[in-house]
Amino acid sequence: MPQSNDGESLAPSNSNAEVNRTRIEWQLYTSHFLSMWNSRLFEFGAVLFLASIFPSTLLPMSIYALIRSLSAMLLAHPLGTWIDGGNRLSVVRVSILGQRLAVAGSCGVLWLIEVRMGALSVTGVNGLFALLVALACVEKLCATMNTIAVERDWVVVMTEGDEDWRRVINARIRRIDLACKLVGPFVVSLVAMASTIIAIWTVLGVNMASVPIEYICIERVYKSVPALERVSADEEIASSSREDEQAPSGLTSFISNILPVSSIPFYIRHPAFLPSFSLSLLYLTVLSFSGQMVTYLMSVGYTPLHVGIARTGSTIVELSATWVAPRLIRRIGPIRGGLWSLNWQMACLAIGVCWYMIDLNKQESNAFISATVLAICVAFSRLGLWGYDLCAQNIVQEEVEATHRGSFSTAEAAFQNLFELLSFASTIAFSKPDQFQWPMLISILAVYISGILYALFLRSRRGHLFHAPPCLKSRTEGRIALE
């Protein structure tokens, strides 16, 4: 019996291919889960540990967060260059080891400050804090490199020619991110309630125990997908493009190679710039359940229990976006799906902000109720936010050239960090709870500018924003026929 013409004889090979695909997926998910889990655990843990060490001031925490984000913004270009031209496995391995060693060093410094705080001089504390900030910058850069390499490069190569599979992987990876964002802080908070020292050791232990598992899983994915190995032609193209972008020797060359002065113009000129930049602009917000909005909610009478319920509800909505968005993309495509998602986010935030502002101008306003309505609307707006995130990611994955995925995505990450810093600046400028309406208005303005920019992108691609209703279509066609 000819093997090639027998449907039954071909079934086992198809079945084997499906099993192999599932195995690769779960190895990728395992590595990504451990990376995101450790990142979220340390990110939130560091806030708690610094609050325990410096209970009477927010200055150390502010400096720590500011410099950490600033490093990711300023050093985006060399990261992108390496992701584009380096060996894919080496890039991810270095990101894993760099992140784990930086966290281990940070835990050691935090433990030392916590235990020896009374015995250390001011100079000693400042020196250890400076070391802690430097390690945090390394951790942030390695975490960014790992995320971009896997989500914007590996996934595209693995799913080449299979858009349905790519949508599934994108959604599951985002689901992992959001689950870690919810559960990680909760776990480290529970441990820290018992003892800060135990929490530091817990973060350190989990961090180091995950290294061999991450290392093995990502290596197996690499070996299972031959396309991930860069061919010499790709390396030559990437190398020549980098040489063209480099400035002359000297100080100008140094600045060009370190700061994102060459990747930013490329990013702005790229056809996928508008959807990417619109996503970055959404980071200029205080309308999320992060420290700024949580502080405001606490000031109007929320208890930690109320905040916990609000954050949990918001995360459930965010997770639902990872099921809704892939179906939306499959039905109407990522470009129209992005518009629908942004419209949902804008509508929800408009309702919440309008209610808040109307109540604020009443003679007998109820701050607790208006804050609750705002919190509910913000929670539901996250469905649109993460739906748009997946749509924009799909557009970028499809349109950015293989030799520039790293440069493009790190430039996007630089803008995200810039707008995040501006959101912190808005609450520094308007720091009192009764001034929260100004950072809130800045945030919703950023969302609407993002929507306008994306609408321009949509119109340039499709020639229109919305499909005309059938009745209008028939009238227009009738006029054309009469003429």
Positive/negative CA dihedral, 452, 379, 439, 50: negative
Name every residue whose Cβ is closer than 8 Å to that of residue 186 and which is 6 or more positions away in sequence.
none
**Is residue 282 over pLDDT 70?**
yes
Both 276 and 211 in one domain: the answer is no
Q: What is the pTM of this model?
A: 0.77
CA atoms within 13 A on the CB side of 402: 18
Host domain of residue 362: 263-464
How far apart are alpha carbons 316 and 300 in whole angstroms? 24
CB atoms within 10 A of CB 1: 6
Q: C-alpha 391: how far from its chain's center?
A: 13
- Rg of the Cα trace of the chain? 24
Mean pLDDT over the full length of the chain: 82
**pLDDT at position 69:** 83
Using a pLDDT cut of 90, give the percent of the chain over it: 31
Examine residue 258 and state whether it is found in any structural domain, yes or no: no
Do both 76 and 149 map to the same domain?
Answer: yes
Number of structural domains the chain divides into: 2
Residue 241 domain-assigned (yes or no): no
Q: How far apart are the first and last CA of the chain?
A: 66
10 is a domain residue = no
Q: Cα–Cα distance between 324 and 175 in angstroms, integer?
A: 12
The residues near 59 (Cβ < 8 Å, ≥ 6 apart) are none
| CB atoms inside a 10 Å sphere around CB 471 | 8
Q: Which residue has the tokens 């090979």?
A: 13
Segment 45-85, tens digit of pLDDT: 887 788 778 776 667 877 888 888 888 888 877 888 888 88
Q: Is position 82 within any domain?
A: yes
Residue 359 inside a domain? The answer is: yes
**Residue 220, domain member (yes or no):** yes
> Based on the domain organization, do 184 and 314 belong to the same domain?
no
Per the listing, tokens 């190569």 go with: 157
Express each pLDDT in 302-339 by its tens digit.
887 787 788 888 888 998 998 999 999 989 889 999 99
Are 271 and 207 contained in the same domain?
no
Look at residues 285, 310, 283, 314 and name the one whose alpha carbon lies nearest to residue 298.
310
The answer to whether residue 482 is domain-embedded is: no
CA dist 17 and 436 (Å) reads 55
pLDDT in tens, 173-223: 989 988 888 888 788 888 888 888 898 899 999 999 998 999 899 999 998
Q: Find, among 238, 236, 258, 257, the residue nearest to 247 by Cα.
A: 257
Q: Are residues 283 and 402 in the same domain?
A: yes
Helix/strand/coil for 298: helix
- Note whether residue 230 is domain-resident: no
287 and 187 in a common domain:
no
On whether both 206 and 62 belong to a single domain, the answer is yes
Same domain, 388 and 447: yes
Burial 67-81, CB ≥16 within 10 A → b, else e: ebbebbbbbbbbbbb
* Average pLDDT of the residues in 402-408: 83
CATH of the domain at 329: 1.20.1250.20
Q: Are residues 330 and 446 in the same domain?
A: yes
Residue 64 and residue 185 in one domain: yes
When pLDDT is averaged across residues 122-139 and rounded to a whole number, the result is: 90
Q: What is the mean pLDDT of residues 140-165?
A: 88
Query: What residues contact residue 241 under an 8 Å CB cut-off, 6+ apart?
Result: 84, 403, 404
Q: How far apart are CA 211 and CA 201, in angstroms?
A: 16
Kindly state whether residues 312 and 183 are assigned to the same domain: no
